[in-house]
Chains A and B, each alone.
Chain A
Amino acid sequence: MMKILVTVKEVAEVEDDFEIDGLGIDEAYLEYDLNEWDDYAVEEAVQIAEAGDDVEVVSVTIGPERSEETIRMALAKGADRAIRVWDDAFESVDLLDVAAKTRLLAAVVEKEDPDLVLTGVQAADDGFGATGVSVADEVGFEWAAVVNELDLDADGGVANVRRELEGGVEELTEVDLPAVLTIQTGINEPRYASLRGIRQAQRKEIAPMSLDDLGFDASALDSPIALTGMSEPESESDATLFEGDAEETAAQLAEVLREKGVGAQ
């Protein structure tokens, strides 16, 4: 029996034209959807479950009631059951920082005792990109970030992973289980939920968990980080248009590249 815990988040997607309202974006311009990276993480877990014989996929989210629909999508795609962490105390929190999420998710990991935790590399809205690794550190699991290929050897207790590093460099490495892997887009092709899956998902469990259930009080949400302002960055267009035939434009491009230091030893 193997258990995979997948963390998922409902993220706000902003329309092309929007207005800022105080410290946030006006609700009228927001739509909520499953975080893109998490969609890949769910797919990876479901594929492992489909290939193995006794694999349970549990998905966990921290989010308000509205996010049930998002987590239900993960159930429709094949997760077996879900946990939703929420509490009235969250309503008054502007910013749930990485440390708070780490505390909560680590408590869930300790309760569930999974062999593998899959998270997205980052969330499309606040984009801290740190939660997965931070949870691994908290619970003392091995970890690998930005994984774009995963070959799991469950019997050997090892995940063979390929990681995407900066500048197009990739690393092949082995991670001992239990481990946390943060999943990069492109690792697989996430499926659409089938109508049958959507129907079945209505009958799958989404267990609510409060701070109290996890052994915390409202102070678990405290953060040294505060959101102080929200503004749209000035966008400066800095495009150069080369004119002339191929030879001339190539020469101009080469000059710019040399100036920028490309090709220098």
Chain B
Amino acid sequence: MLDYVDLEADLDEEERMIRDTARRFVEEKVKPDIGDHYEAGTFPEELITEMGELGFYAPNLDGYGLPGVGERAYGLLMQELEAGDAGIRSMASVQGALVMYPIHAFGSDEQKERWLPELGTGDAVGCFGLTEPQHGSNPGGMETRAEADGDEYVLNGSKTWITNSPIADVAVVWARETSAEESPIRGFLVETDRDGVTTNKIDDKLSMRASITGEIGLNDVRIPEENVLPGVSGLKGPLSCLTQARFGIAWGAVGSARDCFETAREYATDREQFGGPIARFQIQQEKLAEMATQITTSQLLAYRLADLKERGDLRPEQVSMAKRNNVRMARDQARIAREMLGGNGITTDYSPMRHLSNLETVYTYEGTHDIHTLVLGKDLTGIAAFE
């Protein structure tokens, strides 16, 4: 795959092996029938435990049987998975960065013992409930509440657009603890088989079709107080998870763009019109040149992010810049790749239009493009435009 400035030549052996394993997995297990899953609107559920056995969930965390690989290796994994489909990468992002990460970072020892090994192998599936019907870009306005009652909490509210909620065993639900002073946002581990929990599936998606999305309804759901994440309070809880996941998304977007590029390049050199391959026309070459340049500059940003994250210097605003840039890049370039494939480009036989439509979700979730613009604006001027 395109690596124009030889960034992969500087990977160490472990990183190369992880890249190769993930690439082979995607080649053999994802690509052959992802188009059919996309069309049917289903997730290849048999891959959930397979990806777990391979250590694809939260591999950058340590302990509890997790491999503890470096941040660049983690980024490479996300990149390869999204070259298959953003739905596959979303599965790994949600399970690893949005569910296992907060348990690992903010959970009690009992919570870690109870959940991390099973989530790591994929024997349990988790989901992350932040977004609500009336509160998307502004999660701080959330209405879901948890009220202490003896040694239990009673949860009420509804979450929507929750990746994997219909197949999840446990949900990390972010809610206002209304029985505490100033009603801080807290994280609650809610087993989905508790009375009062519903997880309806959202069926009419035209994007991210090979990924399961649903709601979480909470109707007087009682959970023991041991299910509260003890180590965090306030919006920084969910936001710190999102920083982890967005780091993976910045890499993943490069993966989908690279797959689009390779598909377009191969098509352009094979497809003949006017007596020769369409790749001989300057207009097509300009498209490839631009695509390759955009991918390469985004790739550089992703690599830099990994270095900063590895040494503990990464700021959330830097992740915002990379998520914003790389996803926009991938979305724009997927459209160009689609274009170059002519009529064939609109079918499930080729990946670009599938990536393109997935990227509409990626552009919107984990902070919309606009919201990341405002985050950068605030960082650059010191003035928040969204408060």
Contact = CB atoms under 8 A, between A and B. Distances in A.
B7 interface: no
Most buried by A among B17, B59, B67: B17
Contact of A196 (B13, B17, B25, B55): B55
Given A69-B13, A72-B13, 15 more contacts: A69-B16, A72-B17, A73-B17, A76-B17, A192-B25, A195-B18, A195-B67, A195-B69, A195-B77, A196-B55, A196-B65, A198-B69, A199-B67, A199-B69, A202-B14
Give the 6 A-B residue pairs with the shortest CB-CB distance, closest first: A195-B55, A195-B67, A196-B67, A195-B59, A194-B55, A198-B17
B113 interface: no
A193 interface: yes
A180 B16 CA distance: 32
Given A194-B53, A194-B54, A69 B17 contact: yes
Contact of B68 (A76, A199, A201): A199
Contacts of B67: 194-196, 198-199
Nearest to A73: B17
Most buried by B among A68, A76, A192: A192
A195 B80 CA distance: 14
B25 A199 contact: no
Interface in A173-207: 192-196, 198-199, 201-202
Interface of A: 68-69, 72-73, 76, 192-196, 198-199, 201-202
A199 B53 CA distance: 14
B56 interface: yes
Most buried by B among A72, A193, A195, A196: A195
A160 B68 CA distance: 41
B205 interface: no
Interface string B1-19: 0000000000001101110
A199 B16 CA distance: 12
B31 interface: no
Contacts of B293: none
Nearest to A201: B17
A74 to B, nearest CB: 11
Contacts of B25: 192
B135 interface: no
A201 B67 CA distance: 12
A41 to B, nearest CB: 18
B4 to A, nearest CB: 16
A202 B13 contact: yes
B13 A195 contact: no
B21 interface: yes
Contacts of B21: 192-193, 195, 198
A194 B67 CA distance: 9
A158 to B, nearest CB: 32
Contacts of B14: 198-199, 202
B280 interface: no
22 contacts: A68-B13, A69-B16, A192-B21, A192-B24, A192-B25, A193-B17, A193-B21, A194-B53, A194-B54, A194-B55, A194-B67, A195-B21, A195-B73, A195-B77, A196-B55, A196-B65, A196-B67, A198-B14, A198-B18, A198-B21, A198-B69, A199-B14
Contact of B56 (A68, A73, A195, A201): A195
Contacts of A72: 13, 17
Nearest to B73: A195
Contacts of A193: 17, 21
A2 to B, nearest CB: 26
A176 B93 CA distance: 51
Contacts of B13: 68-69, 72, 202
Contacts of B56: 195
A196 B77 CA distance: 13
Nearest to B28: A192
Interface in B36-95: 53-56, 59, 65-69, 73, 77
A198 B70 CA distance: 12
Contacts of A202: 13-14
Contacts of A196: 55, 65-67
A72 B20 CA distance: 13
A72 B21 CA distance: 13
Contacts of B53: 194
Nearest to A202: B14
Contacts of B24: 192
